[in-house]
Chains A and B, each alone.
Chain A
Amino acid sequence: MANRTAQRPNGQTQGKICQFKLVLLGESAVGKSSLVLRFVKGQFHEYQESTIGAAFLTQTICLDDTTVKFEIWDTAGQERYHSLAPMYYRGAQAAIVVYDITNQDTFGRAKTWVKELQRQASPNIVIALAGNKQDLANKRVVEYEEAQSYADENGLLFMETSAKTAMNVNDIFLAIAKKLPKNEQNTGQAGNAQGRRLTEGDTGPKATGNCCK
């Protein structure tokens, strides 16, 4: 009938802000908090306080056509808090599973996290594997190729990172941002995210229902 406006791709950079929940998982002391600190504040602390709980920060990344805002939950890695992890990864649209390239056990632990996410998290969660402490490559015990092929088999993004030197830190978040679906259907069901409860910030249906407004 009457009245139409042409359907066309979005204009330039301005416009949509997509909001995503991202959770960091991995053995304690692999550098989860350090990666977040580097990404959000550009800092690094040799003596990073250990996380007992789930820290929360936000950071925005600009892509060509959209702006992606991450709500980042940095969880405690100790085994005894394991049972609380679902509170944070349920409803998350992205996860970074971190291990320490100088510690074989942490890689094994990372694999169990990936398995758990594949079983329990929302089915289209974007998972990235980060082999952290790349600056300590001389003490490496987890080979790059091994991790890469594991990542390939499981459809994970993979990068070796260093929170200390900042290597690949922005890049891994950027890669996730690019991979995340930016339309409503694909992010819709992640809406009732458990992550950020009771936040004044998320009152509206749009904040959780759709990513793009």
Chain B
Amino acid sequence: MLPAQQDVLNIVQAKFLAAEVVKTIHLNVSVVDGPLENDNRILTLVEYNKSFALFVLVSSRIQPISFSDLSIESVIPLDQNFSFETEPVSGQNYVILIIRYKQNKYEFKIEIGKESCNFAAEIIHAKEVSLTGASNFTWLEKYFGTMNQANRNSETSISDQSDFVLIREGMAQGQASINRESMLKYQMKLREPEFTQKQEFTIFVGTWNVNGQPPSASLKSWLSVDEKPPDLYAIGFQEIDLSKEAFIFNDTPREAEWQKCVMDGIHPNAKYRLVALARLVGMQLAVMVNNQHYQYVKNVSFDTVGTGLLGKMGNKGGVAVRLELHNTSLCFVNCHLAAHVEEYERRNQDYKDINARVNFRKNPQAIKDHEQIYWLGDLNYRITDLTNTQVKTLLQRNEINTLLRADQLSQQRERGNVLLDYSEGDITFQPTYKFDLHSDIYDTSEKARPPAWTDRILWRGKGIHQISYRSHMDLKISDHKPVSALFKSEISVIDQTKFRKVHEDLLKKMDKHENEFLPQVMIDQTEVVFDLVKFREPQARYIIIANTGVVPAEFEFIKKLDEASYCKDWLGILPFCGSINPGEKCDVKLEVNLETDLESIYDILVLHLKGGKDMFITVTGNCQKSCFTQSLSSLVRIRVPIMQSNPQQYNLARNNQSPILYSVPRELWLLVDHLYRHGLKTRDLFESSALHEELIRIRDWMDFGSQDPLPGTPQAVAETFVLFLSYIKEPIIPFELQDVCVAAASNFQNCRQLLIQKLNDIHRTAFIYICMFLQELLKHSNDNGYDAKTLASLFGDILLRDSIRNAKPQASRGKANFMYNFLVNDLSALLIPK
């Protein structure tokens, strides 16, 4: 990272919380429709706890100096809705970075270079991390509020928070694997007849509103009246505890007391196990299953819903248990709906609320999604339009059917207001409410509530046959009598052998399908060998990626473990990621550009297909030595042009083991000498850029040596001179001295002292030599147009160059000041070694 970039990064980091780490930034970004100069945007990649987001920041200054100069334009989470690509623009030195997030598209111009390559690699890495982890993007929410006003309304920002929340929920579930499982489930269901058969199970459903009374009598006369033990019990109570404590803390000793009473009262001829017990305040529902079936019960879950006070409290509402018995899903709902004759609409609403709000958090989640539903409880529907006396008279005459016509539940169901699609057996028992305690006598109190069938059992689903529906008059401790219903229900039972066959068959099919739909590509070569690689003489090779599969192949070159980028710095890959449609091809350009001292190049590229395989591409080539990438100290030890030196001489020189032959390198002398003789009067000597071929001719002339004079115009030689100083292995003023030099810049004597004390002879001599030449140049200012300031800033950046090559060097005032000293003062004294 460039120092300047590091500074900005620190400023950008200040814009965020400490735990929100700015991973990388890209400076000088402009939006596509704007001018390239208007490049005050900063793309910022931020990580918080393994979740990443891209921030588009706008800087109010060209170079922000404080985080308050930055404002957030857009926030883009790197989740699965995020994708990006780059699009080259022919003949331009920038690419278009296209970022897509759902329906939004952002396009930015960024200059081609290391910065953009690294940035892209970081984003890819970030997305990969984001996708493999449990990313949670809630931390971004606070930034939506801070986005630029202008942008908040525009289409290109994700200010739609509700949408955003949805994304998060989607992410949290691990969609693909769930898809696979639900796909399997769905397919299994379709093929269910192949591996199941119907078997009848007896199900006993009971309901009793116990009016807050503690259990005091055996429940056998309710729960154990049939000859054969049922296969499954679902027993619901209401009002097991009417105390404030139960209401407020939803905790009551009665739960265990009643449950024990139930276990004691159920059929003695079989052993039962509790499958689930759910309670909300006074509503309790227990499901027990005959031991022999216990192992076939699975995916048990329950939920409770309060619809009482404030529409939420548990004094009224429902408790529900769901389970799968063999291969049939069952749901039991015990409810206690709103009281009072006139409140039937409230009861209808309670019913709807229970349906809407019960959520088992398993598939299926809602009551209605079960194959069989048993609905029981104190539904609290009354008898309307008849006086207490009329009801009692009709009852005495045993005219139950006449009475039933006045039953609110029957009326409301007929109108489709409640329990639609449910069935209820014929009622042959007398109303179960309201009795004087410990009696069979209907309410004789002042309130004199008319009797009503408040306690009911209904069902919904295929293959359910009711055997009996009755009340149990012997239990008198409450003002309600218990009710029970016995069902013979068809349960689909799995034949394990057949099931396994179908299951395996489906999995095989899904594997096959999945493997067939993996992305597949062929590449025309896995070995890329470059011709002799020469200093700054780019060479390209093309590989062809052909999509031979049936799905689009998204490819990308990925980083190897512990490497900073997806390829070495001498290589460029374009495009390094992309998407290829089936049957189509993509040419990928591999371009090598050598700027360092390497004997050979070698790298293995990893080409990854999203969701599929990786391919390895080996890149090799031999490199030609060049004086441009050597160190000063080796060059002064080589008598001849570098390509003429034999390997032994060369190695000794490289290791500083041979004697120093020159006070400045031959090559430096040749360049300076040429400029001295031909370039002193050339206007704008260092400003024009030479033809590439011309530079290569000069390079070869220097590396190989020649009888011919140095080829090229003074400008070309001047450019070579600058290149030479820029690429030399260590800058003339070594990195570690640069800070002290800059600090001393205001005082020539101090600078001089530094040079004498800190710089080694070879570097010092070269430095003085260069400065003296520049002073010579200044003597011809009238012709060449240079003044000391200009040269100082030009050469300050070269002789004190940064440790990381800067594509766009920015003049540093300090370095220029340092240089300036040596362009305007007498240097002769410095030449004599100390």
Q: Could you tell me the distance between the alpha carbons of A115 and B486 in the complex, rounded to whole angstroms?
A: 66
Question: Which residues of A sit under 8 angstroms from B98, Cβ to Cβ?
Answer: none
Given contact pairs A62-B507, A80-B604, A206-B173, A6 touches B618 in the complex (Cβ within 8 A): no
Contact of B526 among A6, A17, A52, A208 (CB under 8 A): A52
B526, A11: Cβ atoms closer than 8 Å:
no
A208, B133: Cβ atoms closer than 8 Å:
yes
Which residues A188-211 have CB closer than 8 A to chain B?
Answer: 191-194, 196-209
The yes or no answer to B127 lying at the interface (CB within 8 A) is: yes
The yes or no answer to A165 lying at the interface (CB within 8 A) is: no
The yes or no answer to B583 lying at the interface (CB within 8 A) is: no
Q: Which of A62, A83, A197, A207 has the most CB of B within 10 A?
A: A197
B131, A202: Cβ atoms closer than 8 Å:
yes
B176, A204: Cβ atoms closer than 8 Å:
yes
Given contact pairs A6-B274, A11-B297, A86-B561, A204 touches B251 in the complex (Cβ within 8 A): no
Q: Which of A6, A57, A81, A205 has the most CB of B within 10 A?
A: A6
B181, A203: Cβ atoms closer than 8 Å:
no
Contact of A3 among B172, B180, B297, B304 (CB under 8 A): B304
The yes or no answer to B422 lying at the interface (CB within 8 A) is: no
Which label, helix, strand, loop or mixed, suits the secondary structure of the B interface? mixed
A53, B175: Cβ atoms closer than 8 Å:
no
Proximity string of chain B (154-190) to chain A, C-beta cutoff 8 Å, 1 when within and 0 when not: 0000000000000000011111111011001000100
The yes or no answer to B262 lying at the interface (CB within 8 A) is: no
The yes or no answer to A54 lying at the interface (CB within 8 A) is: yes
How many interface residues does B have (CB within 8 Å)?
75
Given contact pairs A53-B613, A200-B176, A2 touches B561 in the complex (Cβ within 8 A): no
Question: Which residues of A sit under 8 angstroms from B304, Cβ to Cβ?
Answer: 3
The yes or no answer to A154 lying at the interface (CB within 8 A) is: no
B500, A3: Cβ atoms closer than 8 Å:
no
The yes or no answer to A12 lying at the interface (CB within 8 A) is: yes
Which residues A1-58 have CB closer than 8 A to chain B?
Answer: 1-6, 8, 10-15, 17, 19, 40-41, 52-58
A204, B178: Cβ atoms closer than 8 Å:
yes
The yes or no answer to B145 lying at the interface (CB within 8 A) is: no
A11, B181: Cβ atoms closer than 8 Å:
no
Given contact pairs A80-B618, A81-B604, A84-B604, A56 touches B612 in the complex (Cβ within 8 A): yes
The yes or no answer to A60 lying at the interface (CB within 8 A) is: yes
Question: Which residues of A sit under 8 angstroms from B496, Cβ to Cβ?
Answer: 12-13
Contact of A40 among B280, B515, B611 (CB under 8 A): B515
The yes or no answer to A67 lying at the interface (CB within 8 A) is: yes
Which label, helix, strand, loop or mixed, suits the secondary structure of the A interface? mixed
B132, A202: Cβ atoms closer than 8 Å:
yes
A202, B176: Cβ atoms closer than 8 Å:
yes
Given contact pairs A60-B507, A86-B561, A206-B173, A198 touches B274 in the complex (Cβ within 8 A): no
The yes or no answer to B76 lying at the interface (CB within 8 A) is: no
The yes or no answer to B610 lying at the interface (CB within 8 A) is: yes
Proximity string of chain B (295-315) to chain A, C-beta cutoff 8 Å, 1 when within and 0 when not: 111111110100000000000
The yes or no answer to B80 lying at the interface (CB within 8 A) is: yes
Q: Could you tell me the distance between the alpha carbons of A213 and B295 in the complex, rounded to whole angstroms?
A: 20
B616, A13: Cβ atoms closer than 8 Å:
no
The yes or no answer to A133 lying at the interface (CB within 8 A) is: no
Q: Could you tell me the distance between the alpha carbons of A206 and B177 in the complex, rounded to whole angstroms?
A: 8
Query: Considering only CB atoms, which chain A residue lies closest to B185 in the complex?
Result: A14
Question: Which residues of B sit under 8 angstroms from A137, Cβ to Cβ?
Answer: none
Contact of B608 among A1, A191, A198 (CB under 8 A): A198
Chain B residues proximal to chain A, CB less than 8 Å? 79-80, 124, 127-128, 131-134, 171-178, 180-181, 184, 188, 250-251, 255, 273-280, 284, 294-302, 304, 321, 324, 494, 496, 499-500, 503-504, 507-508, 510-511, 514-515, 518, 526, 556, 558, 560-561, 604, 606-608, 610-616, 618
Known: A53-B616, A56-B518. 19 other contacts (CB 8 A): A2-B255, A5-B300, A6-B276, A12-B296, A13-B503, A17-B181, A40-B511, A40-B515, A56-B614, A60-B508, A60-B511, A62-B507, A192-B132, A194-B561, A198-B124, A201-B611, A202-B132, A203-B174, A205-B133
**29 intermolecular pairs with C-beta atoms under 8 Å apart:** A3-B304, A4-B276, A4-B277, A5-B302, A6-B274, A8-B294, A8-B295, A11-B296, A14-B188, A17-B177, A17-B180, A17-B181, A53-B607, A57-B515, A62-B500, A76-B616, A80-B604, A84-B606, A86-B561, A196-B611, A197-B558, A197-B608, A198-B608, A199-B610, A199-B611, A201-B176, A203-B175, A204-B173, A213-B178
